[in-house]
Structure 1
């Protein structure tokens, strides 16, 4: 039995300190890819459920860039510490709660006392109380908790917040602040450089009229940006100036704000708030440039918008081609990555954002196409080569190797400019491969608009024996008149295809050379017709 394919975009990836490797959460494992080739070079196995976070321990000196240590969290309730060069599991911490997100602030602001003493390392985790999950009457089941990684235990008696559902924790570039978003509210905490077990912190809340979907901290100033479900971006300045500026911590419990009103922007601790709007749907990606002069945003449109922070003016970077999920900087300023909903991670050359390499998993057909399932579906196997052919959202067929567990190639079936936010107007319904893999047949349906203009096309493709690339050989419009094609199949060991329709007929298609051997035309033609 052949198996293959993983989700590469369930969680943000992480670069190694030398930027030569990319660590990707892939189900219960972490897959390690070479950034120079895009090929998998290793894997971290040990978690019993989905891995939700991978955090590489940064190099404190240029010489330590060769060190390869990382922390991972999982829905199995475990936090693990790895040497991913070996690879070898070094430590496991069981906190007994499914972990949906984890950040480790001290890794971004490592400090030691004059005596050389190293402080305990703490992680902040977004967890889920599984006991409460079973009780449908209780809506709040998420928690933000603190874990002492040095002592391998949760910090007792300390819960930063209860939230309705566990979600992502966002951390500032310097590690001095963390935040979460829940519906129309942002919660932000300030983390001291010298973190201790019983430190409890003041928090602030920022409010909005719509639900938040993304959040980012400015690298140097008290500026916070957040995106919402409508595509708006809010930028607060002077965030936490009143609450955080005195630097006082409260021991023995959390300091709850006196005014806990969920009202829109009621009592928000910020000097000003500006709203920008370009995206047509929710904002998924939000991050500041390293110098803080620009804010980048992305979403379903598959394009990054660059906002000048001082003026609000915007420009657009080259289209990525699929809705965006995560953006990650690397230690190498000329390299970054962006994860897309089509299960692809694009490695980008900075600052031009040119795509230099792709790491692709199996691209599942668009969920938006489910309404057209009556037209058929089409994932096919080439057992000889261990390949599957999958129709994708962008009018292509992806060839994926189950032997090598990677994408081999893509074929553009319909010559149309695909925009991720467009309504579906064409669907690749069916795919068939000859036994030797030399020929492919596809069926595409142009969907009618207001009941007018539907069109079915049957296409035949020939594979070049040298380049292994498919080229279009024959296209037949409305092969069964107005009826939709229900199935297509190749006859084993010969160049013959049978198509059937919902109209109750079938047709046999052959290459012209099968009928007229001297004919130099390699196209296909109808050889026989039948009904049932």
Structure 2
């Protein structure tokens, strides 16, 4: 007999399928949207209750089923005579198959297509523009492609990110940004497609409204606070391309919607060469610009205008001998009237110019001298020859006046900040910067310098001690530079370059012990030209926190030329090793790196008359090292423990080191593996360091270790016997199984 008891079973708990969060509309309150937002992303946060991460075909999925019971199979057929399915259907009865399907609980249908959640972009490259100090100097404002970044100068942390909608401007990027001289809470930002934003940097309000000033885009922008007709307003000066060819400078008065004053613009200057620099002074009455080898100095004719479309400037142009790379202007009132009969209303305009050959020129009272040179009676009294200074070997990337006008500050590719004392002619140097100095700004009080470097970082220096008080760094991996800089117009000796455009990989790895930390190999100058790319130097290890969006640490993993002379006697840059592979152990306490160094082609010119091939000589002189580093908690850095020179040999049995094609770490134990161009796989493990049979310990009693090769596996060689069909492996990889029991290797 069938049992009449049915054992109940507790309801089965099924984990919720991750669901993707629905897109939300923009908040009506912009200040709430941007308050205290950082540059990281929340992918590393713990998921709260009910947090949905995924969607299936655009809809959320919930597979629910009733609690399961233990079925007594005899109950399905109790008191029911046996009949065929056809006969049951004729009598109007449900077939036993349907009863079976109803009684037996069905498993939920598997979900096939899961959507993936993509985090917000992290990092980004700081654009080449002057950093901006806020009025109280508590914050420094930088910008990347489509965001304004507000950093605290007290703790170097990112306090707010103001993003512009990339869907509205899919191919645009920020070209310039400047604090409003009328309202210190407002910052103006110009995009390359001609859009201008007026944003409150304290809250982010205004990032959803823009003005379109030109259909041909925008090259540069600056802002002046001008007073006319009893009204003070911000006038935005921009440079853009003309539709019919050429370039122009435009003055724009951009008003808010609903304002009784109309938005107007006026072209104040046109040029046949690109205008790539623009700066105003003395409340917009003085305008300074650079166009190729020419300097443009404009002075407003009359300040009695109702709207900006009636403003007029008089421009004077003078040429330089080399492309102009940087310039700055200092304006102050004229206190003494000399015998040249210059009007007291004409201010004193001092201009400093840095060119592509490394020269710095200082023009004293340039506006007054240009005005007098046009007067026949006083032309002979005018001296337009500037004072010339020279220390930089290459182009002067930035030059600025100090607030009191007694100093000028300059910087360039020499990684040295130079302070020129004009009265005595003495120079003061701050050497050993990490990369090329791109921009220098002086804080409103003159107590700090804001410095932007080419390695995607910036810092704040105190003017008294010349010591850094804040440091801001982004991801410093290499990027491609498509535009040729103006400095390339000056012919210079260059290091070894690739004939064709190539992809130079950036080694990187996610920390297994801290998944939010990204470790990557970086160099001093991460911008690589698309054509004629030099062999990139990559000697540093950067640790970047993806969740917080800021740099954690940076240290050298190979020899560098930061603190030594970085050029040869024939003006060629000295090549540095480059890191090709990085791997971290499963416990996060060990790091394995591979660095490679090859001398420059120019260093082998002395053997060109010999029969030896230069490429063969380069291969012989190539140096490749496998290094093992241990994490030191006390110093918060990686300490070199073992260095293996030439861990693999060349594939053709020739002298010299062979390239390492792949590096892998064992996820279950302390072990690394490499594959080289010699088609050999080697595993590396640590062993206790001993001296006279006794384990060597450090000062804290910890046993010291060395690394050595544990196994060596020769991979099967090609069956092709013809020498001309054989080739050196150029790509390879190794990988461990999760339990470390299997090691897979491949090469091509």
TM-score of the pair, normalised by structure 2: 0.60
Alpha-carbon distance change, 517 to 525 in structure 1, aligned in 2, over 3 angstroms: farther
Alpha-carbon distance change, 55 to 192 in structure 1, aligned in 2, over 3 angstroms: farther
Of 496, 501, 519, 1:389 maps to 519
- Segments of 5+ residues of structure 1 without an aligned counterpart are 61-66, 133-137, 247-256, 258-266
Q: Counterparts in 2 of 1:144-293, with a 5 A limit?
A: 144-150=249-255, 151=261, 153-156=263-266, 158-172=267-281, 175-191=284-300, 194=303, 196=305, 197=308, 198-220=310-332, 221-241=348-368, 243-244=370-371, 271-293=384-406
Displacement after TM superposition at 1:466 (Å):
6.9
Displacement after TM superposition at 1:81 (Å):
1.6
Structure 1: distance between partners of 2:586 and 2:304? 63
Structure 2: distance between partners of 1:39 and 1:369? 39
Structure 1: distance between partners of 2:496 and 2:297? 39
- Segments of 5+ residues of structure 2 without an aligned counterpart are 1-117, 256-260, 333-347, 375-379, 481-494, 525-538, 568-572, 605-617, 650-656, 697-702, 716-748
Alpha-carbon distance change, 209 to 320 in structure 1, aligned in 2, over 3 angstroms: same
Displacement after TM superposition at 1:193 (Å):
8.1
Q: Counterparts in 2 of 1:50-129, with a 5 A limit?
A: 50-58=173-181, 68-89=185-206, 92-97=210-215, 98-106=217-225, 111=227, 117-129=230-242
Alignment partner, residue 487 of structure 1: 662
Structure 2: distance between partners of 1:25 and 1:514? 50
Structure 1: distance between partners of 2:406 and 2:302? 25
Displacement after TM superposition at 1:464 (Å):
3.5
Of 588, 591, 612, 1:437 maps to 588
**Alignment RMSD, CA only?**
3.4
- Higher mean Cα deviation, 197-206 or 170-179? 170-179
Alpha-carbon distance change, 176 to 307 in structure 1, aligned in 2, over 3 angstroms: farther
**Aligned to 2:386, what secondary structure does the other structure show?**
strand
- Is 2:182–2:234's contact at 8 Å kept on the other side of the alignment? no
Displacement after TM superposition at 1:351 (Å):
2.9
- Is 2:432–2:562's contact at 8 Å kept on the other side of the alignment? no
Displacement after TM superposition at 1:125 (Å):
0.5
**Aligned to 1:104, what secondary structure does the other structure show?**
strand
Alpha-carbon distance change, 416 to 77 in structure 1, aligned in 2, over 3 angstroms: closer
- Map Cα deviations across residues 135-164 of structure 1 (whole Å, 9 max, x no partner): xxx5x3x321110134563424x3412343
Residue 418 in 1 paired to residue 562 in 2?
A: yes
Alpha-carbon distance change, 307 to 84 in structure 1, aligned in 2, over 3 angstroms: same
Structure 1: distance between partners of 2:304 and 2:178? 19
- Map Cα deviations across residues 307-332 of structure 1 (whole Å, 9 max, x no partner): 23345443323432310111112224
- Map Cα deviations across residues 267-291 of structure 1 (whole Å, 9 max, x no partner): 9x86322322211111111111111
Q: Please tell me whether Structure 1 or Structure 2 has the larger radius of gyration of its CA atoms.
A: 2
- Higher mean Cα deviation, 272-281 or 431-440? 431-440
- Is 1:438–1:462's contact at 8 Å kept on the other side of the alignment? yes
- Is 1:441–1:458's contact at 8 Å kept on the other side of the alignment? yes
Of 699, 704, 709, 1:521 maps to 704
Structure 2: distance between partners of 1:483 and 1:468? 33
Report which of the two has the higher share of strand: 1
Alpha-carbon distance change, 206 to 492 in structure 1, aligned in 2, over 3 angstroms: same
- Is 2:520–2:541's contact at 8 Å kept on the other side of the alignment? yes
Of 684, 687, 690, 1:509 maps to 684
Alignment partner, residue 406 of structure 1: 550
Alignment partner, residue 623 of structure 2: 455
- Is 1:219–1:292's contact at 8 Å kept on the other side of the alignment? no
Structure 2: distance between partners of 1:37 and 1:193? 46
Alignment partner, residue 31 of structure 1: 149
TM-score of the pair, normalised by structure 1: 0.83
Structure 2: distance between partners of 1:361 and 1:369? 28
Displacement after TM superposition at 1:429 (Å):
2.2
**Aligned to 1:227, what secondary structure does the other structure show?**
strand
Structure 1: distance between partners of 2:278 and 2:591? 46
Structure 2: distance between partners of 1:369 and 1:400? 30
Displacement after TM superposition at 1:398 (Å):
0.3
Displacement after TM superposition at 1:243 (Å):
4.8
Alpha-carbon distance change, 404 to 442 in structure 1, aligned in 2, over 3 angstroms: same
- Higher mean Cα deviation, 368-377 or 232-241? 368-377
Residue 320 in 1 paired to residue 433 in 2?
A: yes
